[in-house]
Structure 1
């Protein structure tokens, strides 16, 4: 019983702390480890990727993002690739759950280019006042060839920047 009460109090404290994190005017830096064979598309073999993000909250609960990522996989057709993109997140009811959408331009093999819009659902677990662990499920749609569309899981680290 005591453990349950302590867990409830801890959850309320995290919720109260999280509510101040998604306010207008705050900045964000993030990095994710993607792939690790935790995504699927019709073309890839072994897969590992990294992603860096920077964001800004122009309004409460709404973050605009810029991102860059690099992926290495065992595919013969679209092997290593890099991409740049923009997107946004909407944080639901100040609890850390977010919905994201964006688009990225992917470049691979010096000749393959693709515009890929995507969506994601994730959660920002606060481990202290400004640092989060952010697991997310995502889907990126390929306009070139449906086999390159990707469903995956990523785990990131986020830092919410404060001016106070």
Structure 2
């Protein structure tokens, strides 16, 4: 009986240590990395995935964002994207730098600067963006993050002053 009691205490102790390690090394802990792929929209300066085809014109974009958690729940991020248009043979190189903070480790709030370099353009667009969403963690390494985002144009004569969008992000945490 003493051996069974000792074994039960040992197993419970081991499980407690394992649970503690998991909470201390969560997906948004300091020192972790983040790689994101987001759905995008037709807005230039996109570091997400987008494809549209209408009336013989196809537009596309592919890109990824990555980040590093400098402290618990705060990641410094950067992203790159590349896209184009089939009608006017335009090429767009996009970039993004910013930060992402997870409120209570599950509500991501972002602030970033997004820009684009367009082939043969006189002026290139730039936006200041803010977004928020909710992170559903599917195990230790994957999250799905639907959210909303507002992009304020920093160009006077290039684009609309603001673009509001809904998107879904898919993130790997390691």
Q: What is the TM-score of this pair, normalised by structure 2? A: 0.66
C-alpha spacing 1:75/1:102, structure 2 compared with 1 (3 Å): farther
CA displacement at 1:67 relative to structure 2: 0.7
Superposed CA deviations along residues 68-113 of structure 1, whole A, max 9, x for unmatched, are 124556998xx6533112011111112x111100002212242131
Asked if structure 1 preserves the Cα contact closer than 8 Å seen for 2:125 and 2:159, the reply is no
C-alpha spacing 1:74/1:134, structure 2 compared with 1 (3 Å): farther
Does the alignment pair 1:82 with 2:93?
yes
Coordinate RMSD, CA, aligned: 3.0
C-alpha spacing 1:123/1:48, structure 2 compared with 1 (3 Å): farther
- The higher radius of gyration belongs to 2
Q: What residue number does 2:133 align with?
A: 122
d(CA) in 2 for partners of 1:58, 1:35:
29
Q: What residue number does 2:10 align with?
A: none
1:133 counterpart (144, 157, 169): 144
Q: What residue number does 1:105 align with?
A: 115
Higher relative contact order (CA 8 A, sep 6+): 1
SS at match of 2:31: coil
CA displacement at 1:58 relative to structure 2: 0.6
Asked if structure 2 preserves the Cα contact closer than 8 Å seen for 1:135 and 1:155, the reply is yes
Asked if structure 2 preserves the Cα contact closer than 8 Å seen for 1:35 and 1:47, the reply is no
Asked if structure 2 preserves the Cα contact closer than 8 Å seen for 1:83 and 1:107, the reply is yes
CA displacement at 1:50 relative to structure 2: 3.6
Q: What is the TM-score of this pair, normalised by structure 1? A: 0.69
